Structure 1
Amino acid sequence: MRRNIAMALMAATLIVGTVAAPAAFAGTTTAQAYTCHYSVSADKAYAGYYSGNTVIPSSTGVSSAGIEAQCLLKRAGFDPGTIDGVFGTNSKAAAKKFQTMMNNAFGYNIAIDGIVGSDTWPALRWYAV
């Protein structure tokens, strides 16, 4: 009798563990890749997520400005990594390379900080055409 109870408990534990295991990863997220939808208007490139020139993409969460900046950097030839809307290490490195190139090749005076802000947006929109 005890053996039957022990076997039943073991089976129940295995079933519950198998069903519950995926729940342990429920809070884990993988980067979602967004699709860039390019358009050009008045000699400025747009990717369909943000049309302004002032919002700084977030490094801690997904933002439309982050997706837009990543798309435009990619179109301009500066690989930001996965287009996920989070402006992390790869995106900042791509932005720094872009800022450096714009300063050296076109005489811009953009801070080389990896931040796509009010000085970088216009240059990025112009160059990505």
Structure 2
Amino acid sequence: MTVTRKRVSMLVAAAALGTALAVPATATAAQQGGDSVASAQAYSCSIKNINGKKQAGYYSGNSVVPSSGSVTSAGIEAQCILKAMGYPTGTVDGIFGTNSKKAMRQFQTDVNKVYGRTVLSVDGLPGPQSWPYLRTFW
């Protein structure tokens, strides 16, 4: 079984059981309001199935592109989801840097492989096109 199929199988099983996927971190969860959070630290992640969509509780939208220069709630959310799916983002710190972009590029590539065609641009950033695929349990 490929790594991608293992990741997908894990998410499908968790969704079917109605359980949350937890990703350990060294610090407690941070502020959840607004797009920008004060400083970089490690955030804890717990992915929940809310109305059939993956949610970590930091950002609920589908349009914000996380920043590579500052901590954002969208960055924390994307890192949590990617990490729960088995993509190595490095520390979940809300800064969408090199590791996070590499993990996102791999996710985008895997989605394209699953569909057998290009459905996502492989740019390494979650944006309006990629967020719905990140949030979907498949």
TM-score by length of 1: 0.72
Task: Number of aligned residue pairs: give it.
Answer: 99
Cα distance in 2 for residues equivalent to 1:123 and 1:78: 14
Whichever structure has more strand as a proportion of its residues is 2
Q: Deviations over 1:61-113 (max 9, x none)?
A: 00000000000001111110000000000000000000000001134510000
Where 1:37 maps in the other structure, the secondary structure is strand
Q: Which amino acid aligns with 1:115?
A: L
- Please name the residue that 1:3 is paired with: none
Whichever structure has more helix as a proportion of its residues is 1
Contact preservation (8 Å) 1:44, 1:126: yes
Q: Which amino acid aligns with 1:33?
A: A
Measure how far apart 1:37 and its partner are: 2.6
- Please name the residue that 1:36 is paired with: 45
Where 2:136 maps in the other structure, the secondary structure is helix
- Please name the residue that 1:120 is paired with: 130
Higher Cα Rg, which structure: 1
Cα distance in 1 for residues equivalent to 2:131 and 2:100: 14
TM-score by length of 2: 0.68
Return 5+ residue gaps in structure 2 as ranges: 1-38
Cα distance in 2 for residues equivalent to 1:118 and 1:72: 16
Percent identical pairs in the alignment equals 53
Q: What's the C-alpha RMSD, in Å, of the aligned pairs? A: 1.6
